[in-house]
Amino acid sequence: MEIRSEGSIARVRSWATDLEENTMQQALRSARCDAVSGPIALMPDAHFGLGATVGSVIPTESAIIPAAVGVDIGCGMIAVKTDVEAAHLPDNLGPTLREIGRAIPAGFNRHQHPTKSADTWVGHNKLETEVELTTKQHRGVAQQLGTLGGGNHFVEVCLDEADQVWAVLHSGSRGIGNVLARNHIERAKELCRDLERALEDRDLAYFLDSDDGFQAYIRDMLWAQEYALENREQMMNSLLGVLGGQLGRPIRELARINCHHNYTARERYGDRDLWITRKGAIRAGFGELGVIPGSMGTNTYIVAGLGNPQSYQSAAHGAGRRFGRNEAKRRFSAAQLTEAMQGRTWQQSKADQLVDESPMAYKDIDVVMENQSDLVEIRHTLHAIVNYKGTK
């Protein structure tokens, strides 16, 4: 579906059948921004976000909108298909959940003493930024590498349709990505204000490639994307170590997929090189594998892209929120979440802290998948048997 704003050529291509009015209006505001170089693609999980809509794909040619990338630069998913079958797993998965919690710090926790792999990566990938960081923030770069965070980030052990075990997790660039993103968002706002660039929404402030701040943002953004990718890699290695320890043998990987869903990349469409910003969207080039989670209590999908140029070879990143966190806490109870999580091993004793992540707070992942049948094909459907999240 193509949406046009009255009196404007700006338009949005939408795959969403469950779309709130404020989300549509926000997408149209983004499409009218002078920095945008073509139609915006709105994914079926789209919902209202900061500045740009979560679940949107935004093309720009000579500009970049930091808030469209978001504050969790490089956030994404990683999934590993293992050689373990359901029959090999212990009947009681409680110890597995506890060991995951020991191996992967979550919430506000970090490695008090950075792991060797974290120190090695940071040493080989030094952050050279113009952003002034505190001593604590500098230390946190290594201390938070290999840690989960909170919110909708999670670790899961899943079974596919053949009862094969998969390890899955969701996380991003942690505190350092947030600090870098917010700093550049504010710099872009100041620049647009000083140069009197017209903006319907200040959060759509942008850098042109001729601006002093452009290259500084691109450098920090690309570093943060690599940091997020490595963060998921290190946590996955820890998770596989836990599974191997529980089974008493090393885990053999049959496939590994690691994909961003909050990022931008330079890509060619037609005769133009564009920055394609995916805020809550994955790249879905033809045959390209991706991971699309639902929410606590619902399925995760392993997909292959169909390379649809109308969506800039993109697809949804998940179910998408229906209710904000505060609204979800008002609407739903710990008892309802517990009912939805039947059959899974999870942090049930902390259900009251996880109510805002209830599946009822999200859109229906199966509707999302149906709406994007021309963007991806489903290769595997994963059902979680262990779920671990950051809590207080």
47 is catalytic: no
Gap between the Cα atoms of 196 and 210, Å rounded: 16
Given 138, 317, 380, 383, the catalytic residue: 317
Query: Catalytic amino acids?
Result: 317
